[in-house]
Amino acid sequence: RPGKDWVLLDACSAPGNKTTQLAAHLAAASSTGGSGGNDDGEASGAAMAGNGGGGDDRYGHHPSSSGKIIAFDLDPIRFKRLCKNVSHCGADKIVSPELRDFLSVDPREEARFGEVRGILLDPSCSGSGTVHSRGDTLLNLNVSPSASASSSQKKEMTEAEKRRVDTLAAFQEKCLRHALNFPRVERVVYSTCSIHVRENEMVVASVLAEAERLGFALHRALPQWPRRGFPLFDGCEKLVRVNPNKDKTDGFFLALFVKKCDQ
Protein backbone atom coordinates (compact mmCIF):
# COMPACT_ATOMS: atom_id res chain seq x y z
CA ARG A 1 0.00 0.00 0.00
CA PRO A 2 1.18 3.58 -0.55
CA GLY A 3 3.14 4.87 2.40
CA LYS A 4 3.87 8.16 4.07
CA ASP A 5 6.87 8.94 1.85
CA TRP A 6 5.20 8.47 -1.53
CA VAL A 7 5.21 11.23 -4.12
CA LEU A 8 1.79 11.35 -5.79
CA LEU A 9 0.65 13.26 -8.85
CA ASP A 10 -2.87 14.53 -9.54
CA ALA A 11 -2.70 15.01 -13.30
CA CYS A 12 -5.86 17.10 -13.88
CA SER A 13 -6.64 18.34 -10.41
CA ALA A 14 -8.85 21.45 -10.43
CA PRO A 15 -11.02 22.25 -8.57
CA GLY A 16 -9.17 20.06 -6.08
CA ASN A 17 -11.82 17.91 -4.36
CA LYS A 18 -9.98 14.67 -5.09
CA THR A 19 -6.62 16.35 -4.46
CA THR A 20 -7.53 17.36 -0.92
CA GLN A 21 -9.09 13.95 -0.23
CA LEU A 22 -5.83 12.39 -1.36
CA ALA A 23 -3.97 14.77 0.96
CA ALA A 24 -6.10 13.60 3.88
CA HIS A 25 -5.20 9.99 3.11
CA LEU A 26 -1.50 10.83 2.88
CA ALA A 27 -1.63 12.74 6.17
CA ALA A 28 -3.39 9.80 7.81
CA ALA A 29 -0.64 7.49 6.54
CA SER A 30 1.92 9.80 8.12
CA SER A 31 0.15 9.90 11.48
CA THR A 32 -0.19 6.10 11.66
CA GLY A 33 3.17 5.29 10.13
CA GLY A 34 1.54 3.23 7.39
CA SER A 35 -0.86 3.61 4.50
CA GLY A 36 -3.93 4.79 6.38
CA GLY A 37 -5.88 2.09 4.57
CA ASN A 38 -7.35 -1.30 5.33
CA ASP A 39 -6.56 -4.62 3.67
CA ASP A 40 -9.65 -5.15 1.52
CA GLY A 41 -8.50 -2.99 -1.38
CA GLU A 42 -11.25 -0.41 -1.03
CA ALA A 43 -10.68 2.68 -3.09
CA SER A 44 -12.22 6.01 -3.91
CA GLY A 45 -11.26 8.43 -6.64
CA ALA A 46 -7.98 8.56 -4.71
CA ALA A 47 -7.71 4.77 -4.62
CA MET A 48 -3.93 4.57 -4.50
CA ALA A 49 -4.00 6.23 -1.07
CA GLY A 50 -5.97 3.51 0.72
CA ASN A 51 -9.13 4.11 2.73
CA GLY A 52 -8.08 6.26 5.67
CA GLY A 53 -10.49 8.93 6.80
CA GLY A 54 -9.91 12.12 8.66
CA GLY A 55 -11.09 15.65 9.21
CA ASP A 56 -9.28 18.97 9.01
CA ASP A 57 -6.79 17.98 11.72
CA ARG A 58 -5.41 15.22 9.53
CA TYR A 59 -4.08 17.48 6.79
CA GLY A 60 -1.12 18.64 8.83
CA HIS A 61 2.20 17.31 7.54
CA HIS A 62 3.62 14.76 9.97
CA PRO A 63 7.26 15.54 10.92
CA SER A 64 8.43 12.09 9.78
CA SER A 65 6.72 12.27 6.40
CA SER A 66 8.28 13.38 3.14
CA GLY A 67 5.23 12.43 1.08
CA LYS A 68 3.70 15.05 -1.15
CA ILE A 69 1.21 15.60 -3.96
CA ILE A 70 2.03 17.48 -7.15
CA ALA A 71 -1.23 18.87 -8.51
CA PHE A 72 -1.44 19.96 -12.16
CA ASP A 73 -4.04 21.96 -14.00
CA LEU A 74 -3.74 23.72 -17.33
CA ASP A 75 -6.58 26.25 -17.05
CA PRO A 76 -5.58 29.48 -15.21
CA ILE A 77 -9.07 30.15 -13.82
CA ARG A 78 -9.56 26.60 -12.56
CA PHE A 79 -6.00 26.64 -11.23
CA LYS A 80 -6.84 29.61 -8.99
CA ARG A 81 -9.77 27.66 -7.59
CA LEU A 82 -7.50 24.67 -6.98
CA CYS A 83 -5.04 26.81 -5.03
CA LYS A 84 -7.86 28.33 -2.99
CA ASN A 85 -9.32 24.94 -2.10
CA VAL A 86 -5.93 23.51 -1.13
CA SER A 87 -5.29 26.50 1.13
CA HIS A 88 -8.81 26.42 2.59
CA CYS A 89 -8.35 22.75 3.54
CA GLY A 90 -4.97 23.41 5.13
CA ALA A 91 -3.23 21.06 2.73
CA ASP A 92 -0.52 23.52 1.64
CA LYS A 93 2.31 21.51 3.20
CA ILE A 94 1.33 18.39 1.28
CA VAL A 95 -0.02 19.69 -2.03
CA SER A 96 2.09 21.66 -4.52
CA PRO A 97 -0.19 23.10 -7.25
CA GLU A 98 1.40 23.75 -10.65
CA LEU A 99 -0.13 25.51 -13.65
CA ARG A 100 1.03 22.95 -16.19
CA ASP A 101 -0.03 20.48 -18.87
CA PHE A 102 0.36 16.90 -17.67
CA LEU A 103 1.17 15.71 -21.18
CA SER A 104 4.11 18.12 -21.38
CA VAL A 105 5.95 16.38 -18.56
CA ASP A 106 8.83 14.06 -19.40
CA PRO A 107 9.59 12.19 -16.16
CA ARG A 108 12.88 10.95 -17.59
CA GLU A 109 14.07 14.51 -18.21
CA GLU A 110 12.85 16.02 -14.92
CA ALA A 111 14.17 13.97 -12.02
CA ARG A 112 11.49 14.98 -9.52
CA PHE A 113 8.79 13.37 -11.65
CA GLY A 114 10.84 10.20 -11.82
CA GLU A 115 10.03 9.80 -8.12
CA VAL A 116 6.24 9.74 -8.64
CA ARG A 117 4.79 6.42 -7.45
CA GLY A 118 1.06 7.06 -7.69
CA ILE A 119 -0.97 9.00 -10.27
CA LEU A 120 -4.58 10.11 -10.07
CA LEU A 121 -5.90 10.79 -13.57
CA ASP A 122 -9.35 12.35 -13.79
CA PRO A 123 -9.12 14.04 -17.21
CA SER A 124 -11.59 16.22 -19.07
CA CYS A 125 -14.65 14.19 -20.04
CA SER A 126 -18.16 14.68 -21.38
CA GLY A 127 -19.59 15.02 -17.87
CA SER A 128 -22.51 12.90 -19.01
CA GLY A 129 -22.90 11.45 -15.53
CA THR A 130 -23.57 14.85 -13.96
CA VAL A 131 -26.47 16.15 -16.06
CA HIS A 132 -28.95 15.68 -13.22
CA SER A 133 -26.94 17.47 -10.54
CA ARG A 134 -26.13 20.28 -13.00
CA GLY A 135 -29.81 20.66 -13.84
CA ASP A 136 -29.24 20.48 -17.60
CA THR A 137 -32.52 18.68 -18.15
CA LEU A 138 -34.42 21.36 -16.25
CA LEU A 139 -32.66 24.18 -18.10
CA ASN A 140 -33.19 22.59 -21.54
CA LEU A 141 -29.50 22.67 -22.39
CA ASN A 142 -29.83 20.04 -25.12
CA VAL A 143 -28.57 17.13 -23.06
CA SER A 144 -30.34 15.00 -25.66
CA PRO A 145 -32.34 15.82 -28.77
CA SER A 146 -35.70 17.29 -27.82
CA ALA A 147 -38.98 15.75 -28.88
CA SER A 148 -39.70 18.77 -31.05
CA ALA A 149 -36.50 18.44 -33.11
CA SER A 150 -36.74 17.07 -36.62
CA SER A 151 -35.20 13.70 -37.44
CA SER A 152 -32.34 15.41 -39.32
CA GLN A 153 -31.68 17.73 -36.37
CA LYS A 154 -31.65 14.80 -33.95
CA LYS A 155 -29.21 12.92 -36.17
CA GLU A 156 -26.94 15.96 -36.46
CA MET A 157 -26.98 16.52 -32.68
CA THR A 158 -26.26 12.86 -32.01
CA GLU A 159 -23.38 12.79 -34.50
CA ALA A 160 -21.93 15.99 -33.03
CA GLU A 161 -22.02 14.51 -29.54
CA LYS A 162 -20.40 11.30 -30.77
CA ARG A 163 -17.58 13.28 -32.40
CA ARG A 164 -17.07 15.19 -29.16
CA VAL A 165 -16.95 12.01 -27.08
CA ASP A 166 -14.54 10.37 -29.55
CA THR A 167 -12.25 13.41 -29.34
CA LEU A 168 -12.34 13.34 -25.55
CA ALA A 169 -11.69 9.60 -25.47
CA ALA A 170 -8.62 9.98 -27.70
CA PHE A 171 -7.29 12.59 -25.26
CA GLN A 172 -8.09 10.37 -22.27
CA GLU A 173 -6.27 7.41 -23.83
CA LYS A 174 -3.22 9.58 -24.46
CA CYS A 175 -3.19 10.77 -20.85
CA LEU A 176 -3.59 7.25 -19.47
CA ARG A 177 -0.75 5.89 -21.59
CA HIS A 178 1.44 8.76 -20.42
CA ALA A 179 0.63 8.05 -16.77
CA LEU A 180 1.47 4.35 -17.10
CA ASN A 181 4.88 5.22 -18.53
CA PHE A 182 6.19 7.11 -15.50
CA PRO A 183 9.27 5.05 -14.53
CA ARG A 184 8.55 4.47 -10.82
CA VAL A 185 4.76 4.64 -10.80
CA GLU A 186 3.12 1.69 -9.03
CA ARG A 187 -0.54 2.75 -8.98
CA VAL A 188 -2.58 4.67 -11.52
CA VAL A 189 -6.23 5.57 -10.98
CA TYR A 190 -8.25 6.50 -14.06
CA SER A 191 -11.66 8.05 -13.39
CA THR A 192 -14.38 10.03 -15.16
CA CYS A 193 -17.79 11.47 -14.38
CA SER A 194 -19.02 10.04 -17.69
CA ILE A 195 -21.46 7.21 -18.29
CA HIS A 196 -20.28 6.60 -21.87
CA VAL A 197 -18.60 3.27 -22.61
CA ARG A 198 -16.36 5.10 -25.10
CA GLU A 199 -14.78 7.16 -22.33
CA ASN A 200 -14.69 4.35 -19.79
CA GLU A 201 -14.34 0.67 -20.64
CA MET A 202 -13.11 1.37 -24.17
CA VAL A 203 -10.37 3.71 -22.92
CA VAL A 204 -9.22 1.07 -20.45
CA ALA A 205 -9.34 -1.63 -23.14
CA SER A 206 -7.23 0.48 -25.49
CA VAL A 207 -4.28 0.58 -23.05
CA LEU A 208 -4.46 -2.93 -21.59
CA ALA A 209 -1.79 -4.42 -23.84
CA GLU A 210 0.64 -1.61 -23.09
CA ALA A 211 -0.20 -1.72 -19.38
CA GLU A 212 0.54 -5.46 -19.32
CA ARG A 213 3.85 -4.89 -21.11
CA LEU A 214 4.79 -2.31 -18.48
CA GLY A 215 3.95 -4.72 -15.66
CA PHE A 216 0.50 -3.41 -14.68
CA ALA A 217 -2.73 -5.29 -14.09
CA LEU A 218 -6.23 -4.11 -13.27
CA HIS A 219 -6.95 -4.30 -9.54
CA ARG A 220 -10.45 -4.69 -8.10
CA ALA A 221 -11.25 -1.29 -6.60
CA LEU A 222 -14.03 -0.86 -4.03
CA PRO A 223 -14.61 -4.62 -3.77
CA GLN A 224 -17.87 -4.24 -1.85
CA TRP A 225 -19.42 -1.92 -4.45
CA PRO A 226 -21.98 -3.92 -6.45
CA ARG A 227 -21.97 -2.09 -9.78
CA ARG A 228 -19.05 -3.06 -11.96
CA GLY A 229 -17.84 -2.31 -15.49
CA PHE A 230 -19.80 -3.47 -18.51
CA PRO A 231 -18.52 -6.92 -19.59
CA LEU A 232 -16.66 -5.93 -22.74
CA PHE A 233 -13.44 -7.79 -21.91
CA ASP A 234 -11.97 -10.06 -19.26
CA GLY A 235 -11.43 -8.09 -16.07
CA CYS A 236 -14.31 -5.63 -16.37
CA GLU A 237 -15.59 -6.87 -13.02
CA LYS A 238 -12.61 -5.04 -11.49
CA LEU A 239 -13.88 -1.70 -12.79
CA VAL A 240 -16.28 0.52 -10.84
CA ARG A 241 -19.41 2.16 -12.21
CA VAL A 242 -21.89 4.45 -10.48
CA ASN A 243 -25.30 4.76 -12.13
CA PRO A 244 -26.86 8.22 -11.63
CA ASN A 245 -30.40 6.86 -11.70
CA LYS A 246 -30.02 3.65 -9.72
CA ASP A 247 -27.48 4.95 -7.21
CA LYS A 248 -29.13 8.36 -6.69
CA THR A 249 -25.93 10.30 -7.26
CA ASP A 250 -23.74 11.46 -10.12
CA GLY A 251 -22.50 8.89 -12.61
CA PHE A 252 -18.89 7.89 -12.15
CA PHE A 253 -16.32 5.40 -13.44
CA LEU A 254 -13.04 4.20 -11.97
CA ALA A 255 -10.23 1.85 -12.98
CA LEU A 256 -7.21 1.04 -10.83
CA PHE A 257 -3.95 -0.15 -12.41
CA VAL A 258 -1.41 -1.68 -10.03
CA LYS A 259 2.15 -2.81 -10.77
CA LYS A 260 2.06 -6.58 -10.42
CA CYS A 261 4.83 -6.65 -7.84
CA ASP A 262 2.69 -4.33 -5.67
CA GLN A 263 -0.45 -6.52 -5.61
Query: 238 by DSSP, 3-state: which?
Result: helix
Q: Could you check whether the bond before residue 97 is cis, i.e. omega within 30 degrees of 0?
A: no
Question: Residue 60 — very low, low, confident or very high, per pLDDT cuts 50/70/90?
Answer: low
Q: CA 168 to CA 162: how far, in whole Å?
A: 10
- H helices of 94-200, where? 131-134, 136-139, 151-180
pLDDT in tens, 135-174: 554 444 444 444 445 566 455 558 888 999 999 999 999 9
| Nearest residue to 254 via CA among 243, 239, 244 | 239
Between 47 and 164, residue with greater pLDDT: 164
Question: What is the full DSSP assignment across 36-82?
Answer: S--SS----TTGGGTT----GGG-SPPTT---EEEEEE--HHHHHHH
Spell out the residues 6+ positions from residue 103 whose beta carbon is closer than 8 angstroms to its own.
174, 175, 178
Query: Does residue 89 have an active-site annotation?
Result: no
Residue 189: per-residue pLDDT: 97
| Nearest residue to 23 via CA among 63, 47, 66, 58 | 58
pLDDT in tens, 185-211: 999 999 999 999 999 999 999 999 999
User: What is Dmax (Cα atoms) for the chain?
Assistant: 65
Set 125, 193, 236, 261: catalytic member: 193
Q: CA 131 to CA 178: how far, in whole Å?
A: 29
Q: Which of 36-50, 67-81, 148-162, 212-226 has the lowest mean pLDDT?
A: 36-50
Q: What is the mean pLDDT of residues 29-35?
A: 65
